């Protein structure tokens, strides 16, 4: 059982990653930290509490809110065209019963790592701001993180927010620079891999066929998942990318569960923070074998096995089998 803290900026694929992590038998979700990104930190926190309630975990999962803006840059506007006005495809949930923790995200991360050294994997599927703040407050945690798995970056292919940069790194490049330079062992689940995890209509059909009708909560979860995936299809069509949804954030959870879902290669990755055109780019020296490496970069996906695990987990098939 892998113990993780998941850091999110809950939009559509974050929501899918939360449900995936909660339903996975291989993961113990110790807590979720939130920050700005797809939406504001406040909206991401509300969405996270609602998604947790819909997924009905066995135990309460604490949620701690973090950064409202990048380390040094101004507050961005939400990404409405991809995630809807509330981040989760305008889906309306009842107000959640669970409340956000009083402790903020970086203090929560620091405390859990100090209480459980070498035990916890950090999974970041939003900006790296909360971790950069935590590293500044308590640099001793660098040695206490088991591993960092992050969704972000694009090494050998174009970005998605600029031609060179991927959204999570571009969203706070200075924070990413701190983290990549910290010495924490990193697995980078970036666009090199996630653009090959295209969830399509036939995959949604399989998910819906396998999901139980069950009680009213299960019905609501099924309704919600259908809604956000369809919303994702529609926004991809509008952007000329066809009827599919890339499972960016869920793939980071998948990699924690089973690293055979991806192929990785090791590189020394650094972050551009000043380029006129290239701010937020993840860079490396591709000319020669790397003498020093800081990151395992995912370059390919075993799409069939990952999707099977994702669908079976969301539809409780693993629970039924065990
Ligand atoms: Ca995200």
Does the structure show a pLDDT above 70 at 143? yes
What is the pLDDT averaged over residues 52-66? 97
Ligand 1 centre to CA of 297 (Å) is 18
Ligand 1 centre to CA of 108 (Å) is 19
Which among 155, 143, 118 is positioned nearest to 300, based on CA atoms?
155
The helix (run of H) or strand (run of E) holding residue 224 is: helix 216-238
Q: Which residue in 7, 9, 14, 198 is the catalytic one?
A: 9
Tokens read off for 267: 């590189």
The model's pTM is: 0.97
Alpha carbon 7 to its chain centroid, in Å, reads 7
Specify the pLDDT at position 279.
97
The helix (run of H) or strand (run of E) holding residue 227 is: helix 216-238
Identify each DSSP E strand in the chain by its residue range: 2-8, 27-34, 63-65, 120-124, 145-151, 186-189, 198-200, 244-246, 262-267, 270-271, 282-283, 295-301
What is the pLDDT averaged over residues 251-271? 97
Q: Which residue in 83, 172, 248, 312 is the catalytic one?
A: 248
Specify the pLDDT at position 217.
86
Which among 132, 89, 128, 86 is positioned nearest to 110, based on CA atoms?
132
Whether 248 is a known active-site residue: answer: yes
Whether 309 is a known active-site residue: answer: no
Specify the pLDDT at position 319.
55
Ligand 1 centre to CA of 13 (Å) is 6
280-310 pLDDT, tens per residue? 999 999 998 888 999 999 999 999 999 999 9
Ligand 1 centre to CA of 7 (Å) is 8
Specify the pLDDT at position 216.
86
Q: How confident is the model at residue 322 (pLDDT cuts 50, 70, 90)?
A: very low
What is the pLDDT averaged over residues 264-290? 95
Query: Distances in Å between the alpha carbon of 31 and those of 11, 114, 305, 315?
Result: 18, 15, 27, 22
190-225 pLDDT, tens per residue? 999 999 999 999 999 999 999 988 888 889 999 999
Which among 83, 93, 91, 96 is positioned nearest to 40, based on CA atoms?
83
Ligand 1 centre to CA of 168 (Å) is 7
Ligand 1 centre to CA of 28 (Å) is 20
Tokens read off for 176: 């990413």
Query: Distances in Å between the alpha carbon of 107 and those of 71, 133, 179?
Result: 16, 9, 17
């Amino acid at each position: 059982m892998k113990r993780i803290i998941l850091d999110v900026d809950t939009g559509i694929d974050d929501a899918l990653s939360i449900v995936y992590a909660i339903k996975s038998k291989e993961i113990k979700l110790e807590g979720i930290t939130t920050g700005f990104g797809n939406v504001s930190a406040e909206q991401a926190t509300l969405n996270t509490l609602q998604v947790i309630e819909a997924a009905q975990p066995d135990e309460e999962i604490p949620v701690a809110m973090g950064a409202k803006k990048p380390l040094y840059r101004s507050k961005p506007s939400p990404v409405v065209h991809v995630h809807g006005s509330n981040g989760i495809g305008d889906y309306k949930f009842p107000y959640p019963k669970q409340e956000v923790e009083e402790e903020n995200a970086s203090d929560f991360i620091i405390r859990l790592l100090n209480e459980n050294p070498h035990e916890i994997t950090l999974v970041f599927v939003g900006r790296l701001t909360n971790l950069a703040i935590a590293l500044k407050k308590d640099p001793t945690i660098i040695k206490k993180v088991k591993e960092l798995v992050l969704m972000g970056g694009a090494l050998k292919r174009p970005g998605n927010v600029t031609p060179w940069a991927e959204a999570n790194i571009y969203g706070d490049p200075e924070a990413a620079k701190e983290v990549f330079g910290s010495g924490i062992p990193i697995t980078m689940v970036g666009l090199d891999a996630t653009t090959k995890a295209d969830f399509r209509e036939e995959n949604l059909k399989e998910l819906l066929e396998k999901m139980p009708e069950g009680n009213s909560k299960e019905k609501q979860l099924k309704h919600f998942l259908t809604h956000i995936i369809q919303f994702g299809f529609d926004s991809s069509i509008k952007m000329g990318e066809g009827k599919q949804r890339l499972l960016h954030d869920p793939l980071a959870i998948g990699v924690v569960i089973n690293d055979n879902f991806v192929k990785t290669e090791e590189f020394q990755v650094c972050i551009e923070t000043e380029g006129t055109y290239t701010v937020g780019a993840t860079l490396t020296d591709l000319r020669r074998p790397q003498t020093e490496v800081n990151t395992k970069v995912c370059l390919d996906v075993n799409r069939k096995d990952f999707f099977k695990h994702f669908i079976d987990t969301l539809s409780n098939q693993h629970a039924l089998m065990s």
